Chain A
Amino acid sequence: MNCPDRETLSAYFDGEAPEIGEHIRACGDCRAFLDDLTAIRAAVVAARPELRSAVAIKERRHRHRAPRLAFALLLLVLLLVPALLLLRHRERNDGAFGNYDAGGRAVIYVKGRQ
C-alpha cells in the first residue's frame, strides 16, 4: 500500500489533506502513526497545560472551516443569481425596441379620431 509521507499525515492530523482520509481508514500503519501523534499531543498538554489553549485554537480553527466554506458558497450564490437573472432578462428582448416592451400581449382596438 502506498502510504502518504509523514508530512502529509501530520497535515491530516492538523485537519488538512482530507483526500487521504479514505486511505487512513483502510491503513493500520497510518492510523497507528496518527494514534501516536494523538498520544504525543496528549502527553505534551499534560506536561505543559499552558499549551492546551494553543491546541484548542487549532481545533477550533478546523471546526470553523465548514461554516466559512458555507458562507463563501452563499456569497457566491448571492452574486451569481442576480447576474444570471440579468443575463436572462437581457436575452428576453435586448433589441433596440426592448425598452418599450411591457412583456404583454399585443392589443388592437378601434377608437374615435383625436
Chain B
Amino acid sequence: MMRHLAILALLLTAATPAPPPTAALNRIRFVVRCVEVSGGAQRTLYEADVDGPPGTDFSVRLRDRGFTLDALFVNELTASGNLDVRSSLTTRRRHGTSSSSLPLWEEDAQEHRFVVGFDQEIELLPFGGAGKAGLLKFDILPERSAGAGPMSIRINDIHANGAITVNAFRQPHWYNIETEIDEGATVVAHASGRTFAGNDVSIALPALGNLTITPRTAEHTDPWRYTDITLNGRPFARGSRAVVCRGEWQSFPIDAKRTLRIRVAPEGTGPDKGECS
C-alpha cells in the first residue's frame, strides 16, 4: 500500500510542472483591453499586450471625429514589488462651431499617480460614464512575465477600425541636474539635484537665486527631451531641448563676467548615450 502511494506521489510530482523561479519573471506585461459594456454583455473592441523590462511605458490613444483621448502611463517597479504609475490623460471633445465656422473643442488634462499591485487592474473610462450605446472602458492589467530581448507589443484590433492605438516605449524617468556659475574659467558656485520627468526640482545657487528645473516627459514620437527653467520664479528658458540631449552642458550668460551652466542628464545614460538625434 505504502509503495503504491509513493509511486502515485512520484507520478503526481512528475505531472505537475515546476513553477518557474521568481527570478525568471523579470519583465512586465500590460494587457490593454478596450471593452464595450452594453445590456449586461461585454464585447472586446481592441486588445494589445505590451511586454518589456520594468520601466517600459506606454500610451493609449483614441481618435474619433468628435473625441480624442491621449493617455500616457509611466511605470516604475517599486521595492515592494508593486507598480508606481504616473498617468496623464488629455481628452478633447468637439463642442460645436465658432461664429467663423471653425470647430470648437473642449480640452481636459489630468495627472494621476497610483500604486497598482499585480492582482489589480486600472480602469479608464474615457467618456466618464455610459452613453446611449453603453459604456466604453479600457481595462489595463499588469502581469509579471518572463523573457529577454527588447520590449514587444502585440495588437489585436477587433472592432475599433484603427481608432485606437497603443504604443510602447522606453524613456528616461529620472534626471540628474547639475548647475554652476562660471566666472571666466573658474567655477564660483555649484549645485545639483535629481528629479522625475515632469516634476520640478529647485536648486539654490549662491549670488543668483533659486533655479526651478523641470525636465518634461517626452512624447513617444519625439526623440528630444525638453526642459523648462525658471529663475526666482520667472521664466528663464522654456522648451530648452539642448540642455537635456546627450546630457551636455548648456551655457546661459548672466552678465558680462558670469555664465550659468546647466546639465540635465537622464539617469543611466552618459554624455554619449543620449537619445536625441
Contact = CB atoms under 8 A, between A and B. Distances in A.
Interface in A68-114: 88, 91-114
Contacts of A97: 62, 64, 67, 127, 136, 163
B131 A111 contact: no
Interface in B207-256: none
Contacts of B136: 97, 100
Given A92-B94, A96-B161, A110-B114, A104 B64 contact: no
A19 B208 CA distance: 79
Given A98-B67, A106-B69, A110-B122, A93 B94 contact: yes
A109 B133 CA distance: 22
Contacts of B94: 91-94
B153 interface: no
A7 to B, nearest CB: 46
Given A97-B163, A100-B135, A113 B66 contact: no
A95 B64 contact: yes
A66 to B, nearest CB: 33
Given A88-B96, A92-B93, A96-B161, A109 B123 contact: yes
B28 to A, nearest CB: 15
Interface of B (DSSP majority class): strand
B120 A105 contact: no
Interface residues of B, number: 44
A101 B136 CA distance: 8
A98 B93 CA distance: 10
Contact of B108 (A96, A106, A113, A114): A106
Contacts of A114: 121
Interface-central residue, A93, A95, A106, A110, by most chain B CB under 10 Å: A106
Given A92-B93, A97-B136, A107-B128, A113 B67 contact: no
Contact of B124 (A96, A104, A107, A113): A107
Interface-central residue, B108, B114, B126, B161, by most chain A CB under 10 Å: B126
A109 B122 contact: yes
A112 B123 CA distance: 10
A102 B66 CA distance: 13
B121 A98 contact: no
A112 B122 contact: no
10 contacts: A88-B96, A91-B94, A96-B65, A96-B161, A97-B136, A102-B128, A106-B110, A108-B112, A110-B121, A112-B121
Given A95-B163, A106-B125, A110-B120, 6 more contacts: A92-B96, A94-B94, A100-B131, A110-B115, A112-B119, A113-B119
